[in-house]
Amino acid sequence: MPRITPTLWFDTQGEEAATFYVSVFPNSKITNVTHYGDAGPRPAGTVMTVEFELDGQPHLALNGGPQFTFNEALSLTIDCADQEEVDHYWTKLSEGGEEGPCGWLKDQFGLSWQVVPAALDELVSDPDPARAQRAMAAMLGMQKIDVAALYAAADQK
């Protein structure tokens, strides 16, 4: 099967973004940087692409220019084991960015992330539909997901 690599289009901040992302996620690294040459379209020597891995998943940052910007039509989801992981990623990625509803945020580069604890999927998939709906309703009122509050809402009678 072919490998699928998400490509993230930046104006000029691709290397800065990749460096930031690999500092946030364990087992991550920049694997290659290419530069524009005399053929352009950007000045020779400026960074064109940055290949990087986030916990082994390949990504590519492209400094393609200001024509395209990120929006919520694409987001990267972080499946977190517990509240500690949620807090860690939420704090790091929202710094300089924008907190959104339901576990969504935009980082300082405008890229959307979903920071999701395993408990959310467990609770909204609960075989008791009333319990699942109470958890869903609680999540809809949150920005950063609060695992204890999800369980408290789900377990209300």
- CATH number of the domain to which 104 belongs: 3.10.180.10
Domain count, the chain: 2
Residues 29 and 88 occupy one common structural domain:
no
pLDDT in tens, 108-151: 999 999 999 999 999 999 999 999 999 999 999 999 999 999 99
Q: What residues make up the domain containing 46?
A: 1-68
Nearest residue to 32 via CA among 62, 4, 2: 62
User: What pLDDT score was predicted for residue 79?
Assistant: 97
Q: Are residues 77 and 135 in the same domain?
A: yes
- Do 55 and 108 belong to one domain? no
User: pTM, whole model, 2 decimals?
Assistant: 0.93
Query: What is the predicted pLDDT for the residue at 40?
Result: 87
* pLDDT, position 157: 77
Q: What is the pLDDT of residue 3?
A: 85
Per-residue pLDDT of the chain (157 residues; tens, 9 = 90+): 788 999 999 999 999 999 999 999 999 999 999 999 999 899 999 999 999 999 999 999 999 999 999 999 999 999 999 999 999 999 999 999 999 999 999 999 999 999 999 999 999 999 999 999 999 999 999 999 999 999 999 999 7
Neighbours of 75 (CB within 10 A): 16
pLDDT at 135: 98
